[in-house]
Amino acid sequence: MSRWNLAWLLGITTAALVGFSLTCSVPTRANSLQRKHDNLRLLVDVLDEVQQKYVKELDDDKMRDLVENMISGGLQRLDPHSDFVSADEFKQFQKASKGKFGGIGIRINVDPRSGQVIVESPMVGTPAYEAGIMAGDLILKIDGHATENMPLKKVVEMIQGEPGTKVTLGVLHEGAKTPVDIDITRAEINIDSVLGDQRGDDKEWDFWIDAEAKIAYVRVVGFTETTVAELTKVVDSLQKANMKGLVLDLRGNPGGLLRSAVEVSSMFLEEGKNVVTTKGRSNDSKEVFNARRSPVAAPANPYPIAILLNRYSASASEIVAAALQDHLRAVVIGERSYGKGSVQNVIAMEGGATALKLTTASYWRPSGKNIHRFPDSKEEEEWGVKPNPGFEMKLSDEERINYFKWRRYRDIVRRNGEGPKPADEEKLKDFRDRVLDKALEHLRGELKKQQGASRPQPSAPVAVRDAMRFIPGETRETRISQRRQSPIPVTRER
């Protein structure tokens, strides 16, 4: 056999082997489609068997519930934040993101540690808030029905209802041993996301916490479509009134819209500073969000800022706190945040009637550190937002509960003093918010430093006399001349 024929045969054989190897090692499009078809066929076969052989006949509505529950259950096994949003829930979700929705006014989720339904945050001024529901409460029953093993969407359905109707929640307060039943009347919820410390005589929020020192206090209780406009209005007004320091309270803030968090951060950061980066499962899905100056907001003055966090500050509130902390724009005071650093995209389904809420990415702060706390994360690992060194405030369960009671007591507005008052009203009046006190102490100290730095320098002869140090070979006249040309530098501490 000639060399040419031998080489030709060997080449054909090699090509065939390579082709066979690739066929075996790389899944073909046909194989992928076949697997999808098999999965769909399994689902259809299961539904068909249920419809034909289940002990009770299921009508169309029951079969629809079964399908939605199967989807929701599977998604929630992936992670607690992925879910299927039914038609009714999707309408409520759209209203909530706009700052208006129906219900009793609480945000709930499944606690990844206990698997029980937990209150992420009651909304200020809502029926749930005024009835005594607090962040961290576990909802054990709804109208006598146990919530254990109940899908989260079913919990939401049972709590929601027509305005004016009542619902009874069996609630276990954090730190308590015995649950209590709380009756709540449902209402249409219209809330502001930006609040002050307390209301004045005109029932409007007072945003000055120390009017003499010009230190303002602003609470952001959620990040909705209206938050940026609300906050811009408040901050611009305070800046025109010569605000010199700001307390930004994000305690109990469960988060909200990513866009809102980026825009709020942009109010206090220089143009182009990184706010947050989202990372999906591929490099192409990485997205960087930088600060962008709003054309309607006045540039923020370089006043000191203290951000207050607690263990229920999550998601968008963690983005804002991390961005301002990493860029040394604010000091974080209080407790370590919740650690909810995953991104859920709401994908419209069935022509926009329903939606798929799917975890598609994770949040990463400007420093490059992770925000999300996974179920197996340990305390010593990197997640959430920690207070700055020296500013962590350890709270007991009793103090944390008393804080929520005190905060609610200051927020409730009563007509002409009418309405029920707590039995421990005098105790609540005397409560001290140690986290807020720490923030005020810090800001007042920063303002004193600024005042010292801006104080006029002594005249040349006095400065020379107080700080004169002769150097061998240098005359007194030369030293005075140099001192006059180069005054003592002043360092402004930040």
Higher pLDDT, 193 or 454: 193
Place of tokens 């969407």: 153
Q: Which residues of 315-334 are buried (b: 16+ CB within 10 A; e: fewer)?
A: bbbbbbbbbbbbbebbbbbb
285, 360 Cβ separation under 8 angstroms: yes
Those residues whose C-beta lies under 8 Å from the C-beta of residue 208, and which sit 6 or more positions away, are 197, 214, 215, 216, 217
**Distance (Å) of CA 421 to CA 137, 196, 198, 409:** 21, 22, 17, 9
For the segment 445-466, what is each residue's pLDDT rounded down to a tens digit?
999 998 887 666 554 443 333 3
Instruction: Round the average pLDDT of the chain to a whole number and report it.
Output: 82
Q: How confident is the model at residue 275 (pLDDT cuts 50, 70, 90)?
A: very high
pLDDT at 178: 94
Nearest residue to 372 via CA among 284, 277, 259:
277
Strand, helix or coil for residue 125: coil
In 143-244 the beta strands, taken as DSSP E runs, fall at 145-146, 166-172, 180-185, 187-190, 194-195, 198-199, 205-206, 208-210, 215-220
Q: What CA–CA distance (Å, rounded) separates 489 from 44?
A: 78
Those residues whose C-beta lies under 8 Å from the C-beta of residue 192, and which sit 6 or more positions away, are 99, 125, 226, 230
Q: What CA–CA distance (Å, rounded) separates 335 from 146?
A: 32
pLDDT at 454: 67
153, 123 Cβ separation under 8 angstroms: no
Q: What is the average pLDDT across 271-278?
A: 95
pLDDT at 102: 72
Q: How confident is the model at residue 99 (pLDDT cuts 50, 70, 90)?
A: low
For the segment 133-188, what is each residue's pLDDT rounded down to a tens digit?
988 899 999 999 999 989 888 898 899 888 899 999 999 998 888 999 999 999 98
Tokens of 353: 């009637």
Nearest residue to 399 via CA among 354, 437, 365, 361:
437
Integer-rounded Cα Rg, in Å, for the chain is 30
Q: Which residues are catalytic?
A: 315, 326, 340
For the segment 277-333, what is each residue's pLDDT rounded down to a tens digit?
999 888 778 899 999 987 766 666 789 999 999 999 999 999 999 999 999 999 999
Place of tokens 């076949």: 34
**Distance (Å) of CA 49 to CA 65, 70, 390, 396, 456:** 16, 15, 62, 54, 87
For the segment 232-272, what is each residue's pLDDT rounded down to a tens digit?
999 999 999 999 999 999 999 999 999 999 999 999 999 99
Whether the pLDDT of residue 25 is over 70: the answer is no
Whether the pLDDT of residue 367 is over 60: the answer is yes
67, 47 Cβ separation under 8 angstroms: yes
pLDDT at 95: 67
